[in-house]
Amino acid sequence: MRIASDFPLTVSETFTATREQIVLPGGTSYLIRRDDYPNPICIWNYHPEWEIHFIPDANGFAYVGDYIGPFKPGHLVLAGTNLPHNWITPGAPPLPGRDVVLQFDADALMSVRAICPEFEVLHRLKPMAERGIEIIGAQAHEIGVRILELHAAKNGNGLGLFLEILNAIEAAPQKRLLASEHFISVYNQLSDRRHRRIDQAIQIMQSNPGAQMHEVAEQVGLGASAFSRAFRRLTGMNFSDYSRSVRVWRARTLLSESEMPITDICFEAGFNNLSNFNRYFRMETGLTPRAYRKAASIRAKSVIAPQSQHGTRP
């Protein structure tokens, strides 16, 4: 497919991810591993196998289909067949073992439910898995503990734990679907090279929140108009809205995790004046930067204080 900037996209065109080749170990129903970040395979990718992705101790952005959102420690997602996904921690130093990845051929497991009816749970999960399921609340942590136990188990000795994880995901009372129905209905693998360029652009924006669209487009080798169209098709957002979200996310992190003055945070996050920073921050969060920092401080103290006073839960 040509990439020239004068090659327009039609309404039906979408962008394709890189297919990850997965080889399940012989004699097992799943593959589980722990990946460092960054990693050559940590890219916008898809594969026929289902994937349960757990991030115990890092922050960043999750991309699942056309969904984009921040993730925090304890983030847990189930992605179904060929659903493109990626998790990025912008500006971070190398993070050993950031991701715990559990992959399995759900179609093959569903086909043997006559002799192993426990895998019927996959049939019940399938409609949701097509769009990606994020587990929210205490259940995400509890399931994450089981995933870490499965990772520590010897090959072939974790099937019962694997089934526990699947059933716990189905039973979790707090979960949400990520990719939109529209994305699932139109997504196909058409333009691999262009898709990789947009993925590169996203990473540039996250490492440099103040980057302008023409600068990012030039760095990835696309004309501004072609880049703008491609970016919206992939992310579901225009460049300016996405850029603003990245900058506000960076500011939220600095407000809650540092003592940096708010004026300095404004410029560090990529805003060029304090008035715009205050206005956009309030649009995104419902709070002023000062109120957000105060709320974050109160929450941190409320988490620490009971533990220090009582040692254990009542």
Domain boundary assignment for the chain: 19-182, 192-298
Mean pLDDT in residue range 166-181? 95
pLDDT band at 55 (very low <50, low <70, confident <90, very high): very high
**Cα–Cα distance measured from residue 91 to residue 104, given in angstroms and rounded to the nearest whole number:** 31
Locate 39 and state its tokens: 């990693």
Tell me what the mean pLDDT of segment 36-64 comes to: 90
Q: Give the HSE-up count for residue 204: Cα atoms under 13 Å, Cβ half-sphere.
A: 18
Q: Which candidate, 288, 286, 246, places its Cα nearest to that of 269?
A: 246
Tabulate helix, strand, coil % of the chain (nearest 5): 45, 15, 35
Instruction: Give the model's pLDDT for residue 7.
Output: 26
- Whether the per-residue pLDDT at 23 is higher than 60: the answer is yes
pLDDT in tens, 134-167: 999 999 999 999 999 999 986 657 889 999 999 9
Q: What is the largest CA-CA distance in the chain?
A: 66
More confident residue, 190 or 221: 221
Q: Is the model's pLDDT at 250 over the cut of 70?
A: yes
d(CA 34, CA 53): 10
User: Mean pLDDT, to the nearest integer, of 48-72?
Assistant: 93
The helix/strand count (H/E) of the chain reads as 12, 11
Spatial separation of the C-alpha atoms in residues 303 and 285, rounded to whole Å: 21
Rounded CA separation 164/185 (Å)? 31
Predicted confidence (pLDDT) at residue 217 exceeds the cutoff of 50: yes
Tell me, what DSSP letter sits at residue 25? P
Per-residue pLDDT, averaged over 72-81, amounts to 96
Q: What sign does the CA torsion over 90, 175, 245, 18 have?
A: positive
Q: Is residue 26's pLDDT more than 80?
A: no
Look at residue 235 in the predicted model and tell me its pLDDT: 66
3-state secondary structure of 249: helix
Please determine, for residue 6, whether its predicted confidence score (pLDDT) is greater than 50.
Answer: no
Q: Is the pLDDT of residue 310 over 90?
A: no
- Average pLDDT (282-293) is 88
Distance between CA 290 and CA 252 in Å, rounded?
11
CATH number of 19-182: 2.60.120.280
**Of 3.20.20.10, 1.20.1280.290, 3.30.70.260, 1.10.10.60, which CATH number belongs to 192-298?**
1.10.10.60
C-alpha span between 97 and 11 (Å, rounded) = 40
Query: For residues 157 and 26, what is the distance between their CA atoms, to the nearest angstrom?
Result: 13
Give 60's strand partners: 71
In the predicted structure, residue 190 carries a pLDDT above the cut 50: no
The rounded percent of the chain whose pLDDT value lies above 90 is: 43
Most confident of 21-25, 34-38, 114-118, 237-241: 34-38
**More confidently predicted of 228 and 17:** 228
Q: What is the mean pLDDT of the chain?
A: 82
Which of 3-12, 44-53, 205-214, 278-287 has the least mean pLDDT?
3-12
